[in-house]
Amino acid sequence: MRLFNAWEMGQDQTKQQIEKGLHLYQSNQTEKALRVWMRVLEKSADPAGRFRVLGCLITAHAEMGRYKDMLKFAVVQIDTARELEDPDFLTESYLNLARSNEKLCEFQKTISYCKTCLNMQGTTVSLQLNGQVSLSMGNAFLGLSIFQKALECFEKALRYAHNNDDKMLECRVCCSLGNFYAQIKDYEKALFFPCKAAELVNDYGKGWSLKYRAMSQYHMAVAYRKLGRLADAMDCCEESMKIALQHGDRPLQALCLLCFADIHRSRKDVQTAFPRYDSSMSIMTEIGNRLGLIQVLLGVTKCWMIQKELDKALESIEKAQELAEGLGNKLGLLKLHCLCERIYRTKGQQRELRDHVVKFHECVEEMELYCGMCGESIGEKNNQLQALPCSHFFHLKCLQTNGTRGCPNCRRLSVKPGYV
């Protein structure tokens, strides 16, 4: 009986210390919170308490951009979940492992761990996590430029959010959808979705972390810049950066610095853009955001091209190409081949020019970045797009003109080659 009481007291102390850490963390005393949680991890013999404190450490390190530490704690949490022999704990720990790899741009691993989560037979709690799993998987497919599968995952995540009335998840999915449409250049939708996220924050986010507001403002800034509304872009980015600085959110600081640099480049003010690209690159390198580094190097390349420093532009392209090939980011490679085409055309180097034209079209074919109705490219310029239930997307004007008698892309994929 005494042993049982001592064990129960230990559980209570663990809970109290975890709550103390959460209070410190929410008060922006992050380092103190981490010390409290680490003491719990070292001293507690309660597996459920250890699991919960590991979840706190994973979240905190994610928000600070310490992704390698996040992964380290996720691996320990998997072992703790196995010790507990509970499918809900195991699903949650695999989700954290997937998210850690997503942040480190290990997209194939992310997809693999997400599939493990979805294949687990747990209880209601596990089913509620499926929305977050689908979101993480969608972000990974987007990192690999597999657009149809990314959109399919985001739409699943959105359905889970609606079915469970999970406004926080809905907010995060809307931000990811904004990023999705920004990449394939439907800038109206790229703005619509983060605006929807901002509405959710205003209507439901009284007790939420300010990171949700900062996240929606950042994605709005990106869309406004693409639409040429540079003053609006600057206002949103400044608000996002202010919150990121207050909360020590290094990943978001890096993204805001990149956005600031892009805004100045859009104004042809490359001298102001360069130091912001440098600052963003420094943080991206520190935290391991290789996908972000590709975007920084693309911006730097365009600045050198504005200044007609073509050899320096090619140096930046070479660095970005190495990163894009390593990650399997096909859209990044397409953009780099496009820039090379312009540079070699200016230089009059016909052989190199032809090489990059061929590679550019190979990327378009591989990503299926063309409308299955009119055959014209998608993602070359701002165009309104519409997805069908299968998640293939087309020019809106083509769907309106030709109707939606099934998906032409799906029909082509279902046609089996016969004997010649």
In the chain, where the domains are located: 372-419
Q: Phi and psi at residue 386, in whole multiples of 5°? A: -140, 130
Whether the CB-CB separation of 287 and 261 falls below 8 Å is answered with no
Query: Exposed, middle or buried by CB within 10 Å (0-12, 13-18, 19+), for 411?
Result: exposed
φ/ψ (deg, to 5) at 46:
-90, 110
**Secondary structure of residue 211 in the 3-state scheme:** helix
Q: What's the whole-model pTM score?
A: 0.91
Using CA atoms, how far residue 319 sits from 111, 200, 306, 313, 335, in Å, is 26, 39, 19, 10, 13
Asked whether the beta carbons of 280 and 303 are under 8 A apart, the reply is no
Q: How many CB atoms sit inside 10 A of residue 328's CB?
A: 15
pLDDT tens for each residue of the chain, 420 residues long? 333 343 343 567 788 888 888 888 877 788 898 999 999 888 888 888 899 999 999 999 998 999 999 999 999 999 999 998 888 899 999 999 999 999 999 999 999 999 998 888 666 666 778 999 999 999 999 999 999 999 999 999 999 999 999 999 999 999 999 999 999 999 999 999 999 999 999 999 888 888 999 999 999 999 999 999 999 999 999 999 999 999 889 999 999 999 999 999 999 999 999 999 999 999 999 999 999 999 999 999 999 999 999 999 999 999 999 999 999 999 999 999 999 999 999 999 999 999 999 999 899 888 888 888 887 888 888 888 888 888 787 888 888 887 666 777 777 655 444 433
Q: What would the two tokens of residue 322 be?
A: 């190495």
Cβ-based neighbours of 413, under 8 Å, separated by 6 or more: none
Q: Domain 372-419 belongs to what architecture?
A: 2-Layer Sandwich (3.30)
